[in-house]
Amino acid sequence: MLVSQGMYVISQIVNPSSTATLRLFPGITGATIKAFCSTPIRGVVLEAFGAGNAPQRPEVIQALKDACDRGVVIVAISQCTKGSVSNAYETSRSLLQVGVIPGSDMTPEVSAALISNDWILSFC
């Protein structure tokens, strides 16, 4: 179900028992992300660095792309207490290019609640 709300689309997608939060760290591997995003996970709150930056190693980006391609909804938020995810930096744009949804200034709790309650806001 898709409902357009101006610059956002509301899409019904996942259920509460298939969502989780993944906090990125500098040495995270593609294998870790792949295992984390495997069945039954269908929604992930991805806690990225700063303005939505992530490690740029090819296996990390590929693991995120593979998860998005399989239908896993990944919402990137910032680990910082203040700030938001944007496409201001190349490292944050690479996440958007593989299908990760920018969570702007959402908190982990709000992001998880939106995914867990079968609703997600994403940019068109």
How far separated are the first and last CA of the chain, in Å rounded? 15
Q: Per-residue pLDDT tens, the chain, 124 aa: give them.
A: 444 445 555 454 445 568 889 999 999 999 999 999 998 898 899 999 988 889 999 999 999 999 999 989 899 998 888 878 877 777 678 899 999 988 888 777 677 766 655 555 443 3
CA 15 to chain centre: 16
pLDDT at 53: 86
- Phi, then psi, of 58 in degrees rounded to 5: -55, -40
Which domains does the chain show, CATH number per domain?
Answer: 2-123 (3.40.50.40)
pLDDT at 1: 40
pLDDT at 88: 74
pLDDT at 4: 45
The CB density around residue 85, as the number of other CB atoms within 10 Å, is 27
pTM beyond cutoff 0.85: no
Q: Which two tokens stand for residue 71?
A: 């239908």
pLDDT at 122: 43
